Amino acid sequence: MKFGVSTFVTDDGIGPAPLGRALEERGFGSLFLAEHTHIPVSRESPWPGGPELPRRYYRTYDPFVALTAAAAVTERLTVATGIALIVQRDPIILAKEVASLDHVSNGRAVLGVGAGWNREEMRNHGTDPRTRMRLLRERVLAVKELWTKDEAEFHGEFVDFDPVFSYPKPVQDPHPPVLLGGSGPTTFDRVVEFGDGWMPIYGRGTDDLPNQIADLRERAGRRLPVTVFAAPPKAEVIAELTAAGVDEILFDLPTASEDETLRTLDGLAKLF
């Protein structure tokens, strides 16, 4: 079992470099950073986590800038998005960002992706929430083409470009893993078709995790890795997820000052 944290790095909490160092020093294997480019003031879309949206959602750094800072001061820590809202990102730029991060980290980048929940945020980027899942699919497939082909091209409903040169190519062969979030009725269709692993949020559609994981791997015909996002820091939860066949557990790390964060990490590290 591998252990990491999922968190928001913001302008009013611990910085990404000291956080990365602290995680590696304490034996954590990964840092997954959330993304929101902005939060519309209207707040029409309900937050799945409850009635009040925490302020860290609209104070977060760009994840790739923060992960680069963490990668520069670590040697083993996986640097990952959890999740990147790629329905709000240009795929050609995204491919270069992730490949660049993979180079800076010497092959430690992971791209966790999802379509998101904030419809107003999507619309501000020109994305129609009604077609976001089809857009998500095309952007992942296009990014993989850009990572793996010398003269990459893609022709879809939403993404369309003729042959291009796009470098650097990732360090990892064939490319950094793409983990798909979500736990809806069509999630496994996407994971099997164009994902490299599944990353559900603990407690959101994960009530039958052993059977869900077995079903996913049977459908895929291979042992797809499973990373559980925002797991409660409890020994019984670790035992439950281990028995279910999970490969990696991410503890939710509150956004806080450096001193407070270090104390929290000291406590979490005692669990494994």
pLDDT tens by residue, 111-147: 999 999 999 999 999 999 999 999 999 999 999 999 9
Q: Please state the pTM of the whole predicted model.
A: 0.97
Distances 28 to 81, 178, 211 between C-alpha atoms, Å: 16, 20, 28
99: nearest Cα among 137, 145, 162, 59: 145
Chain-wide mean pLDDT for the chain? 97
CA–CA–CA angle 23, 100, 67 (5° rounding): 25
How far apart are the two ends of the chain, measured CA to CA in Å?
9
Could you say which DSSP state residue 76 is in?
A: S
Query: Given a cut of 90, is residue 223 above it in pLDDT?
Result: yes
Structure tokens at 73: 């001061």
pLDDT confidence bin for 43, thresholds 50/70/90:
confident
CB 10 within 8 A of CB 56: yes
What pLDDT score was predicted for residue 102? 98
Handedness of CA 90, 80, 233, 192 (dihedral sign): positive
Distances 239 to 113, 213, 246, 251 between C-alpha atoms, Å: 27, 16, 10, 14
What pLDDT score was predicted for residue 217? 97
What pLDDT score was predicted for residue 261? 98
Residue 250 CA to residue 2 CA, distance in Å, equals: 9
Query: Given a cut of 90, is residue 166 above it in pLDDT?
Result: yes
CB 210 within 8 A of CB 139: no
What pLDDT score was predicted for residue 121? 97
pLDDT tens by residue, 57-88: 999 999 999 999 999 999 999 999 999 999 99
Structure tokens at 77: 């820590």
Distances 25 to 10, 75, 76, 175 between C-alpha atoms, Å: 21, 11, 10, 27
142: nearest Cα among 205, 98, 78, 208: 98
pLDDT confidence bin for 40, thresholds 50/70/90:
very high
